[in-house]
Structure formats: C-alpha cells, structure tokens
Amino acid sequence: MGEENLVVFKGTAEGIMVLLDENADFEEIMDNFKQKLEQSKAFFKGSKVTMRFKGRSLNRQQQDRLLMLLANQNVINISFVHAFETESSEQEDNHLAWVKEQLDSQYASLSHFHYGIVRSGHHVDYQGNVIVLGDVNPGGLVTAGGNVIVLGALKGKAHAGLNLKNDKPFIVAYTMHPIQIGIKNSIAQSPNGEFICGTTTNCPQIAYLHDEQIYVDQIDFKTLNHMLK
C-alpha cells in the first residue's frame, strides 16, 4: 500500500514541514502520522521545532484532530504550529502578486476612476469607491463597495455600499435621473420612470440611506445632517 509515503517529514529552514498525501483516506493519514512520530522519536529528541502542514486542504474537524494528536504526543516538543493552508501555495503567490500589482497601480487608493461614458451594457464594478468622469447612460451599471460619484448625468443604474460594512454609503451625480439606484440592501426606482430631484437641476444631487429608506436631495447642510444622523 505504500503507507510510508502518506506522511512525509521535511526539514526546512523554519522548522518541520509535514507533507500529507492528497488523496489518501484521512484516517490512514492519522495512523501513518502517529507511526511516523513514534519512529522518529530518537531523531526529534529534545529539540524544539515549529511545524507546518502542507499537501492537502483540511476541514476544521480534521485540523482539530491533527492538533489534538500533536498535543497528546510526547515525541516532539512543538513550539509553534503554522496556520493551516486552505489554498495551495501557488494561489497564495498569485494573491500576493495581485495585491502588489494593485498597490503599484493607479488604483492604489480605494477608488476606481472610470474615464468617459459608461454606456449601455457596460458594468463598472469596484470594491472601493467608483468615480465616473462622464455620464452613466441608460443600460449602464455602476456598482461599488463604497460610494459612487458621477461627474455627469446618472441615467442608468448605480448601486453603492455593496460592502455592507461601509458606513453611510452614498451616490452623488450632477444630474440624477437613474433608472434604479441601490444603497446597501435597499433599492429604489422612481414611480414615473425618472427621479424628480427638487426644482434646480444644475446642482449635484445626493442619494443616501436613512432608516432603510433611500433619500435623494440636493447637497446642502440640512441634507448632510439628515444623512449622518
């Protein structure tokens, strides 16, 4: 059965790496691990090591059982067990590369700038804030974890605050004629197809959430007070 290879110990610069077989039954791995520990009693004697598990993804229960096994043995003096990996290291590297790339790019802040018109069928999405330097046309969609600011006319759809942890998300547009707007879990549409926003149309409007209700108003002291209340 080649049971010997289900668990492999590897010495690395930072301690012991334990490679677990990816396909074998977990019970067999546990047995094999116990055996391997007994066998290497002499080798580990008296040393203090850190341990990292690799090679297969483990669910919560399996992780607990491994830790229990380590706690109840008297072979190795383990000073530290590295966090279990849920992703393969390749993915981790990719992730790190992505983070680096993001930090180097122009979107290093939590804002994404869209230059030009968001046309029908176009979806601009970002986890942070989205600033559109142009119109959002009917059929266009802007979604943001944070706020949406349209330096033009909002005639399509916009949804702000998709990251629910975001406090007081808002949508600002120079002309507010959206087909639909959403903030957090609330969605609003105008009864007659267009929002009628006050008497002046040349000043920017803000849409915000208050008591689960979406309000659209021009930006002034009163509105901001109401929004932040």
- Please tell me whether residue 113 binds other proteins under the rule CB under 8 A: no
CA 32 to chain CA mean position, Å: 37
- Please tell me whether residue 180 binds other proteins under the rule CB under 8 A: no
- Please tell me whether residue 128 binds other proteins under the rule CB under 8 A: no
Residue 198, amino acid: G
- Please tell me whether residue 157 binds other proteins under the rule CB under 8 A: no
Q: Which of 18, 66, 135, 170 binds other proteins (CB under 8 A)?
A: 135
- Please tell me whether residue 21 binds other proteins under the rule CB under 8 A: no
Question: What number of other Cβ atoms are within 10 A of residue 151's Cβ?
Answer: 15
Question: What secondary structure letter does DSSP report for 58?
Answer: -
Between 134 and 204, whose beta carbon lies closer to other proteins?
134
The two structure tokens encoding residue 71: 């706690």
- Please tell me whether residue 117 binds other proteins under the rule CB under 8 A: yes
- Contact set for other proteins, span 44-103 (CB under 8 A): none
Query: Would you say 154 and 180 are in contact if contact means Cβ atoms under 8 Å apart?
Result: no
Between 117 and 224, whose beta carbon lies closer to other proteins?
117
Phi/psi for 227 (5° steps) reads -65, -40
- Least Å distance between CB 154 and other proteins? 13
- Least Å distance between CB 102 and other proteins? 23
- Please tell me whether residue 120 binds other proteins under the rule CB under 8 A: yes
Query: Would you say 89 and 118 are in contact if contact means Cβ atoms under 8 Å apart?
Result: no
| b/e 153-167 (16+ beta carbons within 10 angstroms → b) | bbbbbbbbbbeeebe
Total residues contacting other proteins by CB under 8 A comes to 12
Q: Interface with other proteins by CB under 8 A: which residues?
A: 117, 119-122, 134-135, 137-140, 155
